Chain A
Amino acid sequence: DSGVTQTPKHLITATGQRVTLRCSPRSGDLSVYWYQQSLDQGLQFLIQYYNGEERAKGNILERFSAQQFPDLHSELNLSSLELGDSALYFCASSLPGQGAYNEQFFGPGTRLTVL
C-alpha cells in the first residue's frame, strides 16, 4: 500500500459524458501527478500540481482538466468522453522538492471504460 488513494476503482460511462476521478496523496506530500495508461500508448504523464498550483503539463487533452484543493486532494475531470479515453488513470504523490530527487508513490488507479 503506497498511501495514495484513488476513487472510484472502476468507472463505466458512455461517450459524451463527464467524469471526475479523485486522488488523495500520502500524508505530507504536496505534489500530485496524474498519468494515463492505455494499451497502445503506455504510461503517459498528464499534469502535476504542487500545493494547489499547476507545476508541469504533459500530454493532457483540452477536454481534461485537474485541480488540487487546499486539503491537497486532487481531482481529474474528463469531459466529452470518447472511446479512446478508456484507460487506467493513476495518481501519484511525492514529497516537496525536485522531482529528480524524490520518488513518486502511485495509487492503485481508476479504470475508466467508455462505451
Chain B
Amino acid sequence: DAKTTQPNSMESNEEEPVHLPCNHSTISGTDYIHWYRQLPSQGPEYVIHGLTSNVNNRMASLAIAEDRKSSTLILHRATLRDAAVYYCILIPSGTYKYIFGTGTRLKVLA
C-alpha cells in the first residue's frame, strides 16, 4: 500500500488560509487521495477527495500536483472549529481498506 507523509503539527491564525501538505511519492495511477479530519472526542469526518484534478467543496479545496506525488488541503479561512487532526489517505480503486497515518494536528490561534 502506498504511504503518505504529513507534518506532525501545524499552527494557523484564525481567519487566515491554511495549507496542509501531504507527500505520497509512491502513489499509483489508480489511487484516490482522500482527506479526513478528526475533531477532539469525535470520529473522523470526510473532508474532500480527488484523483487528478483539483477539487473544491464547501469545506475545503484539494490541490493535487501534476505528477500526483503530493497534494495540499486548503482551508480558506481557518476557524477555531477547524482545530483537528487531518489525515491524508491513499485509497486504491477497487479497495475498501483505509490506512490512516498519524496525520497533522492543526492548532488554530484566536
Interface residues of A (CB under 8 A from B): 2, 4, 31, 33, 35, 42-45, 48, 50, 55-56, 58, 90, 92, 98-101, 103-109
Binding site for A on B (CB under 8 A): 30-32, 34, 36, 38, 42-46, 49, 87, 91-103
Check if A106 sits within 8 Å of B97, measured CB to CB: no
Measured between beta carbons, the chain B residues less than 8 angstroms from A35 are 98, 100
- Other-chain contact of A92, B43, B87, B93, B99 (Cβ < 8 Å): B43
> Could you tell me the distance in whole angstroms from the C-beta of B89 to the nearest C-beta in chain A?
10
A101 to B91, CA, bound (A): 9
Residues of B with C-beta under 8 A to A48? 96-97
Does the CB pair A42–B102 fall under 8 Å?
yes
Residues in A whose Cβ lies below 8 Å from that of B46:
103-105
Most buried by B among A4, A104, A108: A104
Q: Report the bound CA distance from A43 to B100 in whole Å.
A: 6
With contact pairs A42-B102, A90-B43, A106-B43 given, residues A100 and B97 touching in the complex (Cβ less than 8 Å): no
Given A33-B98, A42-B100, A101-B32; A109-B93 close (CB under 8 Å):
no
Residues of B within 8 A of A101 (CB): 32, 93
Contacts A56-B95, A108-B42; A42 near B101 (Cβ below 8 A): yes
Nearest Cβ on chain B to A17's Cβ, whole angstroms: 25
CA distance A105 to B47 in the complex (A): 11
